[in-house]
Amino acid sequence: MGGTFDPVHYGHLVTAEAARAEYNLQQVIFVPTGRPPHKEKIEISNAEDRLLMTTLATLTNPYFDVSRADIDRPGLTYTIDTIEDLRRVYGPDATLYFITGADALLEILTWKDAARLVDMCQFIAASRPGYSLSLLEKALGRFFTEKRQAFHLLEVPALAISSTDIRERVRSGRPIQYLLPETVAYYIIKNRLYTRRSA
């Protein structure tokens, strides 16, 4: 599961656990992005902070793990490179699933080497509020129908939680508890994330 995870929240965790249970996955690997090309203009937190928050959030689930693959790779982060790295680690026989929100998958056509990417892994698209799965089919068109077997649609409890909203809450002093694990909330407060201007 790739993401900026700035910060990681219960939307991510519920989705990951639902995907694991539904598809009987041996492991869910959270891969915080390095520099995402679509967020180049947005200020994102330090990679080590995002990695640590993701580690804290996934600690209690034995199936969850965190990878540094994207943050250690120089340059912009592309999913195709992530999948190639994971393929090298887990070998040719592993079935790789890329877990993503339907909102992110809607943009797959704009991703680097999209056609090659859908041949390299399966996709689990989780629906989140405001994004219907039929929308995905409509938006991706032939791309979706031709590679239909690579896409798996997963309805998760509608959680209207987003990192953007959490960052805004911190900035304006509104509560964030119950939206994300307590340890992550403490990490944010202790390190004054989202309140001070970071470099």
Binding site for ligand ATP (CB under 6 A): 3-6, 11-12, 15, 100-101, 103-104, 126, 128, 156, 159, 161-164
The helix/strand/coil state of 114 is helix
Rounded CA-CA distance 163/13 in Å is: 13
12 or 20: CB nearest ligand ATP: 12
What residues contact 107, with CB distance under 8 A and at least 6 apart? 38
105 or 147: CB nearest ligand ATP: 105
Distance of CA 2 to the CA centre of its chain: 4
Q: Which residues pair with 180 in a beta bridge?
A: 177
Cα dihedral 189, 190, 194, 199 in deg (nearest 10): 180
Cα dihedral 53, 91, 36, 174 in deg (nearest 10): -20
What residues contact 146, with CB distance under 8 A and at least 6 apart? none
Nearest approach, Cβ of residue 101 and ligand ATP (Å): 2
Nearest approach, Cβ of residue 11 and ligand ATP (Å): 2
Nearest approach, Cβ of residue 196 and ligand ATP (Å): 18
Nearest approach, Cβ of residue 125 and ligand ATP (Å): 9
Kindly report the number of other CB atoms within 10 A of residue 104's CB atom: 19
82 or 92: CB nearest ligand ATP: 82
65 or 92: CB nearest ligand ATP: 65
19 or 147: CB nearest ligand ATP: 19
Nearest approach, Cβ of residue 93 and ligand ATP (Å): 26
Residue nearest to ligand ATP according to CB distances in the complex: 101
